[in-house]
Structure 1
Amino acid sequence: MLPDVTRILYASDIQPGARPAFRTAVSLCGHYQSHITFLHVVEPMREHAERLVRSMMATDPSLKALHDDGLRHVQQQVVERVERFRQQELQDHNQLRDEQVTARVEEGTPWKKILEVADEIDASVIVMGVRHHTALLGETASKVMHHSTRPVLIVPLG
């Protein structure tokens, strides 16, 4: 059993089939009366595409504004999707109050951002799902496990 779980970082790609991992985080949260930070990480553009976009933005300032607006729009859509996912699950698991779950969207390399947010919120445990049925975990889960100084709970999905 995990000692004194006060903050749970649940990292999700919010794809279909991710609910078992969230339900595990909800169960932990209900048992320990703690708090879940529901994190989704948006990956940045590939290096080549990023350079191309930045060079175009340097010559036309209106493109930078368009890029920034587009990024904000994508982040808002993801936050809304996370909130819908969270609300649907909380309806099914009424042992939690709304204030026990916070949705958060960050941009960056997923495994690095997960560890960064875990440090920032001082997470007691990181909960995440993996879809692979082999001995090998997904790249993000594997890197989180190998680089984390905190307990990591991996939940098989499907």
Structure 2
Amino acid sequence: MLPDVKRILYASDIESGSRPAFRAAISMAGHYDAQVTFLNVIEPLNSTARNLVKTMMSDEMLSEMHDESVNHLKQKLVERIEQFCDQELDESEKMKEGQVVPRVEEGSADKVILEVADEINADLIVMGTRTHSSVGQFFLGSTANRVMTHTKRPVLIIPLK
């Protein structure tokens, strides 16, 4: 049994097939009456791609496009959370208003997950992992593996298809 769980960090790539991990996070939140921070991490453009884009638009336009994209992604997260809760949770599982908090950050996925877990003082990290090869299955997925090896917090890993 986990100690008192009040803050859960759910890290998701929001790709199709990630519902089982979100369901696990929501189930844990319901069981412990905990808050879930739904985190999506945007990987930054590599320097080659950034330089290519800079040749086509000004820094101001690039910054505006970036901010607009982040806001759009956050709204998409809010819609996905609401849709999931409406479609898949019965009355006894419904989340309270503000119990699921969407968050979008930019950076290296494993580092951002660890930073946000520290910032919110997460009692549990929930994330899914996809493996695309037998070597990938051995290493459990690189992001999940790096998070598990660099945190002292409990991590619940859900295998995804």
Q: TM-score, normalised to structure 2's length?
A: 0.88
1:26 aligns with 2:22: no
Aligned mates of 1:141, 1:30 — CA distance in 2:
24
Specify the SS of the correspondent of 1:141.
Answer: helix
In structure 2, the residue corresponding to 1:98 is in which secondary structure?
Answer: coil
AA aligned to 1:70 is M
User: How big is the shift at 1:138?
Assistant: 1.3
Q: Give the match for residue 42 of structure 2.
A: 42
- Distance in 2 separating the partners of 1:53 and 1:41: 23
Quote how far apart the aligned CAs of 1:81 are: 1.4
Code of the aligned partner of 2:101: T
SS in 2 for 1:135: helix
Sort the Cα spacing of 1:153 and 1:55 in 2 relative to 1 into closer, same or farther, 3 A: same
Checking the alignment, whether the CA contact within 8 Å between 2:37 and 2:102 is kept in structure 1 is yes
- Give the CA deviation at 1:82: 0.7
- What is the identity percentage for the equivalent residue pairs of Structure 1 and Structure 2? 46
120-129 or 133-142: bigger deviation: 133-142
Name 1:109's counterpart in structure 2: 108
Secondary structure class of the residue paired with 1:99 = coil
CA distance in 1, matches of 2:46, 2:111: 16
Residue from 103, 124, 141 that aligns with 1:138: 141
Q: Is the 8 A contact 2:54 2:62 kept in 1?
A: no
Say if 2:126 is the partner of 1:149.
no
User: Once the 2 structures are TM-superposed, how far is the Cα of residue 100 of structure 1 from its aligned partner?
Assistant: 0.5
Q: 1:82 aligns with which of 58, 77, 91?
A: 77
**Match of residue 5 from structure 1:** 5
TM-score, with length taken from structure 1: 0.90
Cα separation, 2, equivalents of 1:3 and 1:80: 33
1:146–1:65 Cα change, 3 Å: same
Taking only aligned residues, the RMSD between alpha carbons, in angstroms, comes to 1.8
Displacement of 1:56 after TM fit? 5.1
CA distance in 1, matches of 2:65, 2:52: 13
Question: Which residue identity is paired with 2:8?
Answer: I
What is the distance in 2 between the residues matched to 1:135 and 1:55? Answer: 39
Structure 1 stretches (4+) deviating beyond 3 angstroms?
Answer: 53-57
How many residue pairs match? The answer is 153
Counterpart Cα distance in 1 of 2:149 and 2:8: 18
Distance in 2 between residues matched to 1:55 and 1:24, nearest whole Å: 41
